[in-house]
Structure 1
């Protein structure tokens, strides 16, 4: 699994926020397992948390670990693929309120900016099913997001995508695309359900195939949302 918080400045920023949260809010960071976290190399006692040595302190290493109610136990297959988006947003706002660079002293602004960016990246990824699936696959060494050649070799699916493009190109108004929009949202929901089962069963091959398929449906959604009469339609196929 690729470590996502490798720079010392980011680790320091996360540690500073962790201390603030422990002191001022009931939200707490979970202790991470050795497989998803890194221990600090020194055993010097920390002064911000009594009776805790640096060796015992584990810093967040995944997007999940940044959010107090999630952590390593939320990672599939331990946890479900779908997550509580309302809770995620609530904790995102709490974290950003405390990590805002404007609240940091001048000498720690760069750390605060790095942490704020990290929190934004984590939230953007986890709240989006496609980005979340791609992130989970990337953690297992499977690059779907960056592999433009990753396609579903399904003639029926490819025909469906091409027919959908024709429907969008021939539409005269947004209202004409409403049935397509509703159909496509059902496709998205269906893919999310398949991903739920794939990650639950730790079936990365099935998860990869469905993530690629979901990319088609998300692309169709984007094309419908950006619809303008006569505007060319660029779709994955």
Structure 2
């Protein structure tokens, strides 16, 4: 077998992975606070691929943390973080971080995410008194009603975003210790949309499909060449 086919196989599998990342980005175009991914492939020895194709994977998929467009909702419990920073959330799997600001109050008066996870403030969970007519959330995340301070959102940041890993539902996890963010503004009544650019993703998808088709043609050419060689060897007259 011509060793060139290994390169074509690797290229084909890489484009499949790239295509999956692009389709996931497009599927989350309307997801609040979603951050798109880029794919970077790292080569391994082709021998490992032949033994187990499941080993073919993207070694590093960096997340693009650029700002998404702010969308006005008018909902007093919706917030958008403009600049650097994340909401700190208590989940069943531990502390997680998110840019999703579609918040609400649970039956116990605790400020929670859409999934029902408590959003943490400077002093822990934020529990609000019942029957609040209106609330105000200022630029620094201070929550108040009729001039009464009810708590402040704990907006945190990280020195290195490469340590943040997606954990599903728009949450991120990390082993890093968060620091207090100093480069943010809270906008009440807004939500941060996805930072996915449809045109860029569609161009990338078309390019990936074309690359995949090209690799498949190369693979087919190698297969036909090998088949022809075998056939000719089998018909040599002595």
TM-score bracket for this pair, using the shorter chain length: under 0.3
- Structure in which a larger fraction of residues adopt helix: 1
**TM-score, normalization: structure 1?**
0.23
Higher relative strand content: 2
Structure scoring higher RCO (CA < 8 A, sep ≥ 6) equals: 2
TM-score w.r.t. structure 2 length? 0.23
Larger radius of gyration: 2
